[in-house]
Amino acid sequence: MRAVIAVNNLGFIGLGDKLLWNNKEDLNHFKELTLNQTLLVGYNTYQGLPVLKNRKLIIDKREEFILEVDWCIGGKKTYEKYCKFFTELHISHINDNSIGDVGFPLLNELNKDCEIFNYHF
């Protein structure tokens, strides 16, 4: 499973169930990565998502693991739960200083073989 996440200069990934910023380059990058793929998303993050055309969304179930997906797209608790299964982690660093209430996840159990890709927008 691959994962994609965006984080700003202050280490925030969101405010409630929404992104803090609207970065067109990052959104296009997200679309390019995830188009025609199956995406795993936590319930709260799902509530804040716009319609994601040409992608299948599967909402995480807290009591079990769902591994038949292409991408994990958050939120924080979902990243933390599944990080041991990540084979790739795509991190978008957003040049933004907004204050959020959801920080970058603790990836203490990140798969040691996970390849990390960093992008700057």
Which residues, including other chains, have CB under 8 Å from residue 59's CB and lie 6 or more apart?
41, 42, 43, 46
DSSP conformation class of 84: G
Which residue range is the domain that position 67 belongs to? 2-15+23-120
Model pLDDT for residues 60-97, shown as the tens digit of each residue? 998 999 999 999 999 999 999 999 999 999 999 999 99
- How many domains does the chain fold into? 1
Q: How confident is the prediction for the chain on average, in pLDDT?
A: 97
The CATH number that applies at residue 64 is 3.40.430.10
The span from the CA of 37 to the CA of 18, in Å, is: 21
Q: Which of 7, 4, 13 is nearest to 41 (CA)?
A: 4
SS3 5: strand
Q: What is the pTM of this model?
A: 0.96
Is it the case that residue 104 has pLDDT exceeding 90? yes
The CA distances from residue 108 to 31, 35, 59, 73, 75, in Å, are 27, 29, 23, 18, 16
| pLDDT at site 119 | 98
Q: What is the mean pLDDT of residues 3-32?
A: 96
Does residue 75 have a cis peptide bond before it, meaning omega lies within 30 degrees of 0?
yes
| pLDDT at site 62 | 87
